[in-house]
Amino acid sequence: MRLVVAPDKFRGSASASAIVGAVERAAADAGWDADGLPLADGGEGMLEAFGGPNRESVVTGPLGDPVTAGWRLDRKTATIEMAQASGLSIIGGAEANDPVAATTYGTGELIDLAVQRGANRVRIGVGGSATTDGGLGALRAMHPVQRFRGVELLVACDVRTRFTDAAEVFGPQKGASPAQVELLRRRLERLVQVYIDDYGVDVSDSPGAGAAGGLAGGLASLGAKLLPGFELIADERALADHVEGADLVVTGEGLLDEQSFEGKVVGGVLELAAELGVPALVVCGAAEVDVPSGVTLLSLSEMFGEERSWDDTLGCVHEAVTAELTARGSTR
């Protein structure tokens, strides 16, 4: 019997790769073959979904200090997580951020470096940003932008927020006061016209252009394609080919809520499994919503208690999935 393991990260407790490893060990214990594919939706974890970093570069951090950012280059394709260069976690969260000054310059430096090293195709995950600069910092680092005309830029968006809405939707999460949110909104509105004047592209109505405080829109002004993050990663990893013919698909994330079914990994995997007629199992740290009919749900907090599910996430996953697969195997 063969299962496919295709989870997102369990934020704060385990990476997607670590969850894959725990399920693979459970499969081995229960006599199943496992095919592991750690996934992401365009936010943190995208780099890991493609094998993790194999390059490191020192670039400009969100508040101007140098940071060491990991990225990946495979032949002519680069994979970049903007959170590595311009992420909120780099500076210690919203309380330490200066939301007006925070810049995407370092992300632009990474894109520029990737192209200098031979990439003609760059995948960019845009979740986890500290910034609301509309991508202006990144474009300045990429100057002169004419060099990127022959480069395919693919932006993996984990939201559908429009460009000028980014300040109101995400600004408070990045430490912006109401007055700063208004300032940031006006700045994004001005940038819409700047990008029209400079590049002939109106980014104001593009779904997802507000991702990473407008970085997605800034890159779109250069011709980047804005794509739903899960769909981009699933296509690039050939998820459908792995799932077809499997006996079970296992997916999961830390908190299962309504957003899990809105362009995120769990919802996307379950939709694909249903299309291909493959049974599905969801493992989560905690669940605020139910799963579709016919899908099995294992909530670690319900099975093992909240404290152990946080402190020993991988052990809980291994134990819960082993029991489930053993039971399924005994009924065949």
Name which of 5, 86, 84, 91 is nearest 46 in CA terms. Answer: 84
> What percent of the chain lies above the pLDDT cut of 70?
99
Residue 11 pLDDT: 87
Residue 44 pLDDT: 84
Owner of token pair 């592209």? 201
Residue 330 pLDDT: 58
DSSP reduced 3-state for 152: strand
- DSSP assignment of 182-245, as one string? HHHHHHHHHHHHHHHHHHS---TT-TTTTHHHHHHHHHHTTTPEEEEHHHHHHHHTTHHHHHTT
State the first-to-last Cα distance of the chain, in angstroms, to the nearest integer.
Answer: 10
Residue 197 pLDDT: 97
Architecture of domain 2-38+238-330: 3-Layer(aba) Sandwich (3.40)
Tens-level pLDDT at each residue, the chain (332 residues): 999 999 999 988 899 999 999 999 999 999 999 999 999 998 888 999 999 999 999 999 999 999 999 999 999 999 999 999 999 999 999 999 999 999 999 999 999 999 999 999 999 999 899 999 999 999 999 999 999 989 999 999 988 899 999 999 999 999 999 999 999 999 999 999 999 999 999 999 899 999 999 999 999 999 999 999 999 999 999 999 999 999 999 999 999 999 899 889 999 999 999 999 999 999 999 999 999 999 999 999 999 999 999 999 999 999 999 999 999 875 55
177-196: per-residue pLDDT in tens?
A: 999 999 999 999 999 999 99
Residue 12 pLDDT: 86
Structural domain spans, the chain: 2-38+238-330, 46-231
User: How far is it, in rounded angstroms, from Cα 83 to Cα 125?
Assistant: 8
The fold adopted by the segment(s) 46-231 is Glycerate kinase, domain 2 (3.90.1510)
